Structure 1
Amino acid sequence: MSLLILLVAAYLLGSIPFAIVSSRLFGLEDPRRYGSGNPGATNVLRSGNKAAAALTLIGDCLKGWLAVWAATRLGFDALGAALAGIAAFLGHVFTIFLRFNGGKGVATALGVLAGVDWRIALTSLAVWLLVAFGSRYSSAGALAAAIVAPLAAAVFLGLGPVVGVLAGMSAVLIWRHAANIKRLIAGTEGRIGGKKKG
């Protein structure tokens, strides 16, 4: 399999909008119509349905991990596998199924990190949990984890192209949180567990 075919397949895998899928399975309103309007697990949680949010989280995470795992099984090197992971991540963020307007990519990025090296994923997850539940701002946890991820990759893998790919993924994730950053500064960001707003 050529690298181009792998990347296209990974992008399409990442494009599956699990927030929409799980909301329809549970008979919920489209998550793009309430809360932050983001088709992701945190916003689905604002519907009050924890099962739907959990399914969204697991699905989004798995597609990032699966892209890296499949690339490795197909014989691609570490860089090729990391590129497949970021292709899945970009598929989630710019999904073709939602007119290229997808989620923020936090769960999918975590799945990619888990596929690349579980230690990077565990470190990033620990940072997310500490910041998110300490502040009750999911976005703050995501931003902190995005900053830590490439640093952890450099520690565990050494400097190299894979670290560069993960740094690029973190940069996109931070960029996707631009509106959240503004709301955090203004003190208007929604907290974890907050109810949905039309």
Structure 2
Amino acid sequence: MIRRILTVLLLTLSSVACAEQPYQQVFAGYNGPDSPTTTYFQDEQSLRDSWVSTALQPRELDEILSKVRFGPQMLVVSAVGGRSAVTGVQLGGVERYGDSLSVLVLVGVADTHCPGPRPDSYPFVIGVVQKPDAFDAIPNYFHQNFPDECKAVKSGSPAQERPNNAFKPTPHRGANHMADTACHVLHAPLRRGLT
């Protein structure tokens, strides 16, 4: 009897631990950043301040924003990094594990025997997901290649980070109080202004 109760309890817990999260892919591009990253955007301004706004045309960004209702939903952006011979990219799934989400991105790659150039691209996908009630924004992601025969190969250049023009406090590079015990410590002057 106890064994049966424990079995039912374990099965119930395992079904809650991993659950398919509803998602909708809203964009695929080939000019993302040169290294892999996955980011969750919970408001419009954070998306506009990110590399994503440099990779998209203004009308593309507006169209994506029209498909999300921030609050109950959020955007997930997963960039694969630099790859060659990419034929396509798609959001393969979003699963919830406790308070975090795992994102699967599938990357189509032309077979090695295919003729023609194999240019570099920087694939990324954007999807709309339901925001979990309790949410840990640490991204979990899996990028997986799959053979895509000899389909047309995409090319792109890496996205640029948006400049950070925010005021930063004056950095303090040293301290006079350390000179009492260490003769070799020199105090560096404070640097002023924007960095």
**TM-score normalised to structure 2 length:** 0.26
Return the structure number with greater helix share.
1
Q: Which protein shows a greater Rg?
A: 2
Structure having greater relative contact order (Cα 8 Å, sep ≥ 6): 2
Return the structure number with greater strand share.
2
**TM-score normalised to structure 1 length:** 0.26
